[in-house]
Amino acid sequence: MCPPPEGNFTTSNNPTWFAFIAWCENLTLQVTYTSCTNPPGPGNGGVQAAVYSGCPASAGNAVACDTDTGGCNGDGVRVMNLTGLNVGQTYYFLVDGCSGSACHIKIDVIGSCSQNCISNWFGDIDGP
């Protein structure tokens, strides 16, 4: 899913995809996961998360990742700091159950970005 050191080339087993259009250059996504089922076979419950700039979802297209196996230990939180996004570009957000587990998830966008505003105009406007 993601390049080392974060991902160590992990794979997705139970992916859920979301797409979003960047509205600012820097965002923080937080995935809180609870009530994870035990995966079939070896492995622990939990989630992995990643954001990609395009398809295919390869390590080369990874914008941010939180896929280390330390997050595959039951309930927890994954945090991804996205920087250098292109405003108006579509990005692909993957939430994956570790080793095929299924979890309840809550996704939060932390912080905000503001648009530059034009101050009030007090003069006359003339035009043709």
Mean pLDDT in consecutive groups of 10 residues from the start of the chain, 128 residues: 61 85 90 84 80 80 80 83 92 89 90 67 73
**pLDDT (0 to 100) of residue 67:** 79
**pLDDT (0 to 100) of residue 90:** 93
In the chain, where the domains are located: 15-110
**pLDDT (0 to 100) of residue 52:** 92
**pLDDT (0 to 100) of residue 126:** 74
Q: Are 34 and 82 in contact (CB under 8 A)?
A: no
CA distances from 5 to 16, 17, 46, 97 (A): 23, 23, 19, 20
Three-state SS annotation for the chain = CCCCCCCCCCCCCCEEEEEEECCCCCEEEEEEEECCCCCCCCCCCCEEEEEECCCCCCHHHEEEEECCHHHCCCCEEEEEEECCCCCCCEEEEEEEEHHHCCCEEEEEEECCCCCCCCCCCCCCCCCC
Write the class of the CATH domain 15-110: mainly beta
Which residue reads 């039951």 in tokens? 74
Among candidates 103, 43, 113, which has minimal Cα distance to 78?
Answer: 103
**Residue 116: both structure tokens together:** 């530059």
The pTM assigned to this predicted structure is: 0.78
